Amino acid sequence: MPVQETVILLDIEGTITSISFVKDTLFPYVTNNLVNYINKLWGKEKLEIDLELLREQAAIDSNSELEGFVPIVSGDNAKQSIIDNIRWQMSIDRKTTALKQLQGHIWKEGYENGVLKGHLYEDVLPVLNKLIKLGKRIYTYSSGSTNAQEYLFQYSMYGDVSNVFIKYFDTKMGPKNSVTSYTNIANDIGVNCGDILFLTDILTEAEAAIKAGCNSALLERPGNAPLDPEKSSTFKIMKTLNELLEN
């Protein structure tokens, strides 16, 4: 029988889009366009909202022991310190809301000018559309900002497919390896955790979802990090989403 849960909650990177798209296309786009973007919008409210989040995060980080931390300063060196802080965060692949929000806004320009097209595995849309016809509700939960998620689907390689998803969740719900994040999402949707099937390629995320009372399965896509055979042995491991429809 097809999947029994009423809510399908999807990770994005490594689950429905390839890791290589994120690592080899999206991240380099930010790196290559960061300085021009900052210079173009410097002093404008659109950018200042993002910069305020970055300053708040830097204040938190200043009290930590993160290796290579780059402070954000005021005065003549303010702009360069912000650029350097962003580059530092990206170099260690941080998932802070501040960084992800700024990245999403930079990607938006790339999508709108046609340079970027959101990648989706070929099985994703056919399966999700069939699940919707079966009455399933589709959501995403990613470390990327909700805006960045929406842009990926709005400007995908298959056109605008954003209508497939009811809502996008990001780290405002909490870290993806935190149990409370999944209870927060269930509460937001208005269902019990047991009504949710969370699909991801990351074992610690799947474990957190299970501890919250959700159900979870793991995706083994090309280019994903290998799963630990012992630790992942209790999970259903899928090659494609087609397995959600199998008897």
Show binding-site residues for substrate: 142-143, 176
Question: Under a CB-based contact definition with an 8 Å cutoff, are residues 34 and 86 in contact?
Answer: yes
Q: For residue 42, give the amino acid letter.
A: W
Rounded Cα gap, residues 118 and 24, in angstroms: 13
Q: Which residues are annotated as a binding site?
A: 11, 13, 142-143, 176, 201
Of 224, 16, 11, nearest in space to 127 by CA: 16
| Binding-site residue set for Mg(2+) | 11, 13, 201
| H or E element at residue 238 | strand 236-238
Q: What is the number of H-type helices and E-type strands within the chain?
A: 9, 6
User: Tokens 């269930």, residue?
Assistant: 186
Query: Is the CB of residue 127 less than 8 Å from the CB of residue 241?
Result: yes
Yes or no: say if 175 and 97 are a contact pair by the CB < 8 Å rule: no
* CA distances, 2 to each of 34, 124, 125, 130, 136 (Å): 44, 15, 16, 10, 11
End-to-end CA distance of the chain: 4
Chain-centroid distance, C-alpha 105: 14
